[in-house]
Every structure is written in C-alpha cells, then in structure tokens.
Structure 1
C-alpha cells in the first residue's frame, strides 16, 4: 500500500492511498471507498428505525429477541461521523458464538450504511448503564430494556 501525503485541493484532511487487491475484489474495494468518501448527513432516528424494522429476516436469522436504539441518534444529536448505538437481546442459545455476533454487527452496518456499536444488556459498562437504559428505544421485537 502506498500513501501519498498530497492533500486534495479543497480537502486538506484527505490523502491518497494506492492499494493492490485481487482482481475479483476490486469492485468491492472501489464501492467501499466510494461509500466512505461521500459526505454524509447525520443518521436520522426515524430512518434508522424504519430500516431496522424493514428487515425482520436479519433479526430472525441471528435469533434477535429485541433490538434497542440508544445514544446520539435517539437524542437527535448525531453527527455525520456518529456511529449507531444498538443493544440486542437474543433468544436463549443464540447467537451461537462470537462469529455469529460479529456477523450480525456487519449485517446491521450494511443495512444502515454506517458503523454500528452493538452491545448486549449483559455487557453494558456499569458507569453507562443507567443512561443507556433510560434512553433505549425498542425498534424490533418485544422487551423492556429497563427490566
């Protein structure tokens, strides 16, 4: 990979990176580069909720019992660079390991077109737990984050 420290005109925080990839992966790399280089508007709460609710097949495939939205998107304080904070509860015995959990995270990122911070109710940092549980919005399934 070659990195050229020549800023683009009018874009001082952008550098050019040249990479070599297998020919069959070139289109995917170009598409990814195009997605991350576009200027984005902040994620909108209603749009995020609508997209998540539009794909129950993803939730079913990974054994999602309930999915909650929290953070800057719920508070309508998201910036173009903000990730989307989600808390998931699974049916017993699911998601079937770390790889399935990571695969769900990637599926949600693909659906939403943004980075996702995916947590479970069991792994909330104690210092953040009260705030997170107070602002959680149920977007899929059944459950109460404050149980």
Structure 2
C-alpha cells in the first residue's frame, strides 16, 4: 500500500462525508493511486457522481475540502462530465462508497 493509499484509507469516512455534504452520490478513486503506481508528486484522482441539484461549486468545494484534509493535491472529476474517450477512467475506478444519499 502506497502512502497516498494509506492516507485515503485513513480518511475514507471523512472523504465520504465531504462528498455527501456536497450532493455526491458515488465516489471512486482512479489514476495512479488506484493503480498503486503513484509517487510523492502524484495527485489523487476522484470520480464523483453527483445528484440532480448539484453545481460546479459542489465539485470545487469537494476538491478544496479534501485537499485541506489530506494535504495532497486532489483532482475531482464528475461522472457527468466524462467523454467517450475517458472510458479508461471508468475501467480503473475503485469505488470508495456508493449511494451516499
């Protein structure tokens, strides 16, 4: 387990709470941290499915809140914003928690 994976596991419940508080329904990890090949300079990539009343502000608030919590750069991507060329994101995504309602 990499350092970032350990940090994420330690703060899993807090991350889920942040996502839930900002209208998130599902949250998954993807990218180098999900694959286990992250480095000290890697960011943490999170894929979030939002509920119908969410806005871009929710995405930005999630990113800022989780970055503050972890002390690591975080990239938050909305499932709704994925393009067909982004299918690799769905293929490697590791679910942290679903149906946060």
TM-score clears 0.5: yes
TM-score under structure 2 length normalisation: 0.81
Match of 2:26 among 40, 60, 66: 66
Is this contact kept in 1: 2:15–2:66, CA < 8 A? Answer: no
Aligned counterparts of 1:81 and 1:46: Cα–Cα separation in 2: 15
Structure 1, 133-142 or 46-55: larger mean CA deviation: 46-55
| Higher relative contact order, structure no. (Cα contacts within 8 Å, ≥ 6 residues apart) | 2
Aligned counterparts of 2:38 and 2:16: Cα–Cα separation in 1: 25
TM-score under structure 1 length normalisation: 0.59
Aligned length in residues: 99
Is this contact kept in 2: 1:85–1:118, CA < 8 A? Answer: yes
Alignment of 1:1-147 (within 5 A): 43-94=3-54, 97-127=55-85, 129-142=86-99
Deviation of 1:113 after TM superposition, in Å, equals 1.3
Q: Which runs of 5+ in 2 are unaligned?
A: none
Q: Which runs of 5+ in 1 are unaligned?
A: 1-41
Query: CA-atom RMSD, angstroms?
Result: 2.1
User: Per-residue displacement from partner, 1:54-100 (whole Å, max 9, x unpaired)?
Assistant: 45432231111110000000111001110001000112212xx3223
Larger Cα Rg: Structure 1 or Structure 2?
1
Deviation of 1:123 after TM superposition, in Å, equals 1.6
